[in-house]
A and B are shown apart, each in its own frame.
Chain A
Amino acid sequence: RKEVEQDPGPFNVPEGATVAFNCTYSNSASQSFFWYRQDCRKEPKLLMSVYSSGNEDGRFTAQLNRASQYISLLIRDSKLSDSATYLCVVNSGAGSYQLTFGKGTKLSVIP
């Protein structure tokens, strides 16, 4: 089983749509969870950390279910500028600062 698995995508959605990405992780000792965004041929950029109680940042909402080892990202009112690959990232274990990346889910927002 891969350490971090994501929806394969690609997701092609119209502007204004709501889209959700899912991610599962295998390391039950992981304590830190993130969503990163990566544009084509660029480095990943932190979109948001994911907290146990769930958190929201504008149009973006992240949820964490530790029991199911499941993370989600919801994007509301999609913009053209949201087109990118979204990476689910977890730390490699308790107290570890090493990160394990999912392969990413590509999102294309269409006019």
Chain B
Amino acid sequence: GAVVSQHPSWVICKSGTSVKIECRSLDFQATTMFWYRQFPKQSLMLMATSNEGSKATYEQGVEKDKFLINHASLTLSTLTVTSAHPEDSSFYICSARDLTGALPREQYFGPGTRLTVT
């Protein structure tokens, strides 16, 4: 199946710093990527929909100025957590749709990035 990578896979940072997470579709083009966050023992919660060449669409309650999303190409979306705080510690997962695939409804998930803010 299609492959989505994320980098870094884990990161520990100090409170107040910014962290950038990359999401890449390796063997297909993705005009739309999704960013999720998962707290321990909770479900994945959609944070925002990232659209190539346009502004991201954020879900209610997600601060767009804190979680900056850039989708500059058809294979790369980045999420920057600005001025991170301990409550931002979570598992961040991206997904992408393969528009040309046989199953366009299917989303392929990246391996996730575990962020710990101290």
Contacts and interface: CB of A to CB of B under 8 A. Distances in A.
Interface in A29-85: 32, 41-46, 49
B43 A43 contact: no
A51 to B, nearest CB: 11
A4 B103 CA distance: 23
Interface of A: 4, 32, 41-46, 49, 87, 91, 97-104
Contacts of B44: 44, 87, 101
A45 to B, nearest CB: 7
- B interface bracket (residues with beta carbon within 8 Å of A): 20 to 34
Grouping DSSP codes into helix (H, G, I), strand (E, B) and loop, the B interface class, with mixed when no group exceeds half, is strand
A98 B46 contact: yes
Interface of B: 32, 34, 36, 41-46, 49, 91, 93, 95, 97, 103, 105-107, 109-112, 114
Contacts of A97: 32, 97, 105, 107
A87 B43 contact: yes
Interface centre among B32, B44, B97, B107 (most CB of A within 10 A): B44
